[in-house]
Amino acid sequence: MTALDVRAARPDQLVSGDKGQWEIIVGLEVHAQVTSQAKLFSGASAAYGGDPNAHVSLVDAAMPGMLPVINKFCVEQAVRTGLGLNAEIHRKSRFDRKNYFYPDLPQGYQISQYKEPIVGEGQIEVEPDGEEPVTIRIERLHLEQDAGKSIHDLSPSETFVDLNRAGVALMEIVSRPDMRSSKEAAAYFNKLRSIVRALGTCDGNMEEGSMRADVNVSVRRPGEEFGTRCEIKNVNSTRFMQQAIEYEARRQIEILEGGGTIDQETRLFDPDKGETRTMRSKEDAHDYRYFPDPDLLPLVLDQAWIDEIKASLPELPDAKKKRFVGEYGLTPYDAGVLSGDSDASTYFETVAKGRDGKLAANWVTQELFGALNKKGLELATSPVKAEALGALLDLMKDGTINGKIAKDVFAKMLETGDSPGAIVEREGLKQVTDTGAIEKAIDELMAANADKVADVQKNPKAFGWWVGQTMKATGGKANPAVVNEILKKKLGV
Ligand code: MN
């Protein structure tokens, strides 16, 4: 494959330097921690946290003579993820030793997959906000072990090592260099995250490091071959990813326009300064002296087993989005927001079941998400559960409350966690449909505003004032349709 085989940037994605325009080329290597109770080659717990070195078997500590045993469930998770990425599953794959020295890697090598990964080429559809969808190709997915953690800040003179993470299963998902802007890279990462979360193969928890990206950035003149790339290590938020890509592309453009060359290197992003800086000159694959791990047999999968996993795949975000548009009549935008995250889609479907889907989507994406955002809460910890929001919509539908009162009730549900029925009862918010009470309020208004009565008969636009005043006089609880009807009759408009 030459660089020219891959898509060119759109004109609006080109970046201007002092001496003309440049194209940004981005590829991502995402490490996603496999959701599994045990580690990849040992029975030790893969749970996050725990006391230092509480989750370490003799295999993880690399005691002499210990042998790794593959965790079948982790293999299943990798296959499931490959299928979710529309990728080729390799029925035969192999584990290799990637040799390097780290204090937190007691084996002196990482067991990984090099020439024969478990998953080959695939592709996913990515929709950056407000842009046309783009297809991003996946090069491979391989299984490998995580390393432990060196702790430098507990003692001025010593470094401690915590091996709890050592041996935890990771999926490294490598994209082709198909992204042409920081926005596309972030959208790709988010899409990947929503797919693995829907599959249940990685929890996507970025604060706990369950998903992190190594970002490869290079620049080129439109139509030319790829330039030399730099790799920015371990980026754990899409905001940082976008900042890092933009900073790095700018840095490379300045060097190239000044007549310099780019050194292939590994860099770190410093979120405080918003810049990348050199970490080490980049190793090539041959520096790692990869060779097949003699302790592990090649991994050979049954086609029937792969088919079984395929048949059990859950509905994925793309299919769900399509269904939300078709089944509930949502806009593609709302459907995208609600299908991208499984908590959101479960919540929405609970509210929408047997009710007006569009109305349910409006309440979830606007009122609820807006309020949770303000309070800094997640959907999982929302004081308003889906069943309660559904009950609120029912109260509107059967005429117990009107839309305006519903918003007040919703605010109280957020505060107290009480059911909408209890709030309406307690605060006497039931809609007034009693025509006598409404008529009385209107009569009083008409008596006090004779000039406005004359006005509305000439000027139909003044009608809104009457509706507003009547609602106010009834504490906002009048049924707006009934108010309109009686007003029209009494005012003769
Ligand atoms: Mn890796």
Show the domains of the chain with their CATH numbers.
11-307 (no CATH), 314-427 (no CATH), 435-491 (1.10.10)
> Percentage of the chain with pLDDT > 90?
79
Q: How much is the average pLDDT of 172-188?
A: 97
The confidence score (pLDDT) of residue 478 equals 85
* Ligand 1 centre distance from Cα of residue 428 (Å): 61
Q: How far apart are CA 81 and CA 119, in angstroms?
A: 9
The confidence score (pLDDT) of residue 4 equals 46
Q: How far apart are CA 85 and CA 188, in angstroms?
A: 12
What dihedral angle (degrees, nearest 10) is formed by the CA atoms of 326, 328, 333, 337? -120
Measured in degrees and rounded to the nearest 5, phi and psi for residue 200 equal 75, 25
* Ligand 1 centre distance from Cα of residue 143 (Å): 9
253 pLDDT higher than 60: yes
Q: How far apart are CA 474 and CA 436, in angstroms?
A: 12
CB atoms within 10 A of CB 125: 12
Pair 214, 231: CB distance under 8 Å: yes
Q: Model pTM?
A: 0.84
Pair 218, 25: CB distance under 8 Å: yes
For residue 400, the 8-state DSSP code is: S
* Ligand 1 centre distance from Cα of residue 460 (Å): 70
* Ligand 1 centre distance from Cα of residue 328 (Å): 41
* Ligand 1 centre distance from Cα of residue 45 (Å): 21
431: amino acid identity, one letter: Q
Give the list of residues 6+ apart from residue 427 with CB closer than 8 angstroms, or none. Answer: 412
Confidence of residue 5 (pLDDT cuts 50, 70, 90): low
The confidence score (pLDDT) of residue 1 equals 46
Question: What does the chain come to in residues?
Answer: 493
Among 46-50, 212-216, 232-236, 459-463, name the most confident range. 212-216
From start to end of 261-305, where are the E strands? 265-270, 275-281, 291-292, 299-300
Helix (H, G, I), strand (E, B), or coil: what is residue 449?
coil
The confidence score (pLDDT) of residue 326 equals 96
The confidence score (pLDDT) of residue 268 equals 92
* Ligand 1 centre distance from Cα of residue 31 (Å): 7
The confidence score (pLDDT) of residue 368 equals 96
Among 162-171, 232-241, 466-475, the least confident range: 466-475
Each residue's pLDDT tens digit, 124-162: 999 998 899 999 999 999 999 999 999 999 999 999 999
The confidence score (pLDDT) of residue 287 equals 83
Rounded to a whole number, what is the distance in angstroms from the first to the last CA of the chain?
Answer: 75
* Ligand 1 centre distance from Cα of residue 468 (Å): 64
328 pLDDT higher than 60: yes
CA distances to 101, 291, 344, 351 from 107, in Å: 9, 14, 42, 52
* Ligand 1 centre distance from Cα of residue 171 (Å): 8
Closest CA to 188 of 251, 136, 247: 136
Q: How much is the average pLDDT of 356-378?
A: 94
Each residue's pLDDT tens digit, 207-239: 899 999 999 999 999 989 999 999 999 999 999
Which residues face 96 on adjacent strands?
112, 292
The confidence score (pLDDT) of residue 6 equals 72
* Ligand 1 centre distance from Cα of residue 373 (Å): 34
Confidence of residue 284 (pLDDT cuts 50, 70, 90): confident
Q: How much is the average pLDDT of 429-442?
A: 86
Pair 17, 239: CB distance under 8 Å: no
C-alpha 149: how far from its chain's center? 26
Q: How far apart are CA 68 and CA 404, in angstroms?
A: 63
3 pLDDT higher than 60: no
165 pLDDT higher than 50: yes
Measured in degrees and rounded to the nearest 5, phi and psi for residue 315 equal -65, 130
Residue 234 parent element (H or E): strand 230-235
* Ligand 1 centre distance from Cα of residue 225 (Å): 26
